[in-house]
């Protein structure tokens, strides 16, 4: 009798547990964010396209400010060169460079530029990270930086 009860309980357990394992969670699309990351100077209540524009403009302002103080930039004679900067905004709000692509021999013309960009991103203030489906996520971005200097 106990074998029959144990068998029935095991059958019931496996039947119920199969339903639990068959439920699939919907994958999260990390290509788009529900809430864009933003600096404290940007409006947290603004529409996403305005937050995005403020985010990008603020990063460009920090880069421009840092590069304006670099002596090697004023001594360089560049035309149609630049970088494409791939970076992450981590869950805790700090930045890190993932990759820097060089455009038109910028590394030979200004070898110090890449290191300066890395330092600039390391010194960016922490920001409010992006969210996807209510979860704070690490997000990856890319911005081009073109240098037109004669």
pLDDT digits (tens, 9 = 90+) for 17-44: 444 444 444 444 556 788 889 898 887 7
Domain presence at residue 10 = no
Domain presence at residue 107 = yes
Total number of domains in the chain: 1
**Per-residue pLDDT, 29:** 52
**Per-residue pLDDT, 17:** 44
Burial of 81 (0-12, 13-18, 19+ CB in 10 A): buried
Residue 143: CATH number of its domain: 3.30.1150
The one-character DSSP state at 124 is S
Domain presence at residue 19 = no
Domain presence at residue 46 = yes
**Per-residue pLDDT, 76:** 58
Domain presence at residue 94 = yes
Instruction: For 54-69, write each residue's pLDDT tens digit.
Output: 999 999 999 889 888 8
pTM: 0.71
Could you say which residues of the chain have pLDDT below 50? 8-12, 16-28, 150
- Domain boundaries, position 89: 32-147
Domain presence at residue 101 = yes
Which residues have CB under 8 Å from 6's CB, separation 6+?
Answer: none
Strands (E), the chain: 81-89, 95-103, 131-132, 135-136, 139-147
Domain presence at residue 12 = no
């Amino acid at each position: 009798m106990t074998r029959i009860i144990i068998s029935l309980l095991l059958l019931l357990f496996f039947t119920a547990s199969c339903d639990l394992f068959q439920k699939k969670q919907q994958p999260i699309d990390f290509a788009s964010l529900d809430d864009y990351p933003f600096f404290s100077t940007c409006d947290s209540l603004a529409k996403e396209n305005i937050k995005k524009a403020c985010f990008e403009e603020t990063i460009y302002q920090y880069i421009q400010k840092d590069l304006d103080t670099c002596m090697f930039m004023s001594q360089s004679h560049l035309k149609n060169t630049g970088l494409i900067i791939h970076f992450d905004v981590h869950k805790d709000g700090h930045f890190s460079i993932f990759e820097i692509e060089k455009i038109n021999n910028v590394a030979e013309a200004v070898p110090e530029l890449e290191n300066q960009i890395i330092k600039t991103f390391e010194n960016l203030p922490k920001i409010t990270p992006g969210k996807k489906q209510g979860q704070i996520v690490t997000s990856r971005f890319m911005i081009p930086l073109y240098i037109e200097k004669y």
